[in-house]
C-alpha cells in the first residue's frame, strides 16, 4: 500500500470531513472548482480509481453514483504506519525513534491504546 496521490488525498479528506453518508462527484466537484482549476471528469476518474482500489464504496442513484469511504481517516493512517513499520528496517528501532519524537499527550494516548489492545487480547485468549 502506498499513500494517496495529491488529488486522491484532497478528495478523501473532503469525504472524511463530510457530515453526510454519501456524496456525488458533482457535489465534490462544485466545492473544488471554486478553489482550483479542475475538470469534472478529473474528479470523476479519481473517485472511480479510489473505488477500484477499495478506498471508496458506491451506490447508483439515478444516473450518478454516491460515494463514501470504506475506512476512516484513522484506519487509513494506521495502515500507513503499519506499512512503514514493515519496510523501515528493524521494527524495534523504528518504534523507538517514533516514540522518541511524539509529544507527551501522544505518548499518553499510545499508552492508553496499548492497554486497551492488551486487555482485548487477554480476553480473547
CA 113 – CA 87 distance, rounded (Å): 23
State the pTM of this model. 0.79
H-assigned helices in the chain: 6-17, 25-32, 40-52, 73-87, 91-101, 104-124
Choice among 2-6, 13-17, 32-36, 77-81 with the minimum mean pLDDT: 2-6
Mean pLDDT of the chain: 92
- Whether residue 53 contacts residue 1, with contact meaning beta carbons closer than 8 Å, is answered with no
- Whether residue 69 contacts residue 52, with contact meaning beta carbons closer than 8 Å, is answered with no
CA 101 – CA 13 distance, rounded (Å): 25
Choice among 22-36, 82-96, 97-111 with the minimum mean pLDDT: 82-96
Q: Rounded mean pLDDT of 108-113? A: 93
pLDDT value of residue 7:
96
Amino acid at each position: 500500500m502506498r499513500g494517496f496521490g495529491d488529488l486522491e488525498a484532497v478528495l478523501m479528506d473532503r469525504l472524511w470531513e463530510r457530515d453526510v453518508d454519501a456524496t456525488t462527484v458533482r457535489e465534490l466537484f462544485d466545492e473544488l472548482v471554486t478553489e482550483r482549476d479542475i475538470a469534472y471528469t478529473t474528479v470523476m476518474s479519481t473517485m472511480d480509481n479510489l473505488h477500484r482500489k477499495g478506498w471508496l464504496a458506491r451506490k447508483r442513484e439515478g444516473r450518478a453514483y454516491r460515494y463514501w469511504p470504506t475506512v476512516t481517516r484513522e484506519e487509513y493512517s494506521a495502515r500507513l504506519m503499519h506499512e512503514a513499520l514493515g519496510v523501515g528496517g528493524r521494527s524495534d528501532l523504528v518504534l523507538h525513534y517514533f516514540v522518541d519524537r511524539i509529544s507527551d499527550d501522544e505518548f499518553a494516548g499510545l499508552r492508553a491504546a496499548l492497554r486497551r489492545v492488551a486487555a482485548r487480547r487477554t480476553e480473547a485468549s
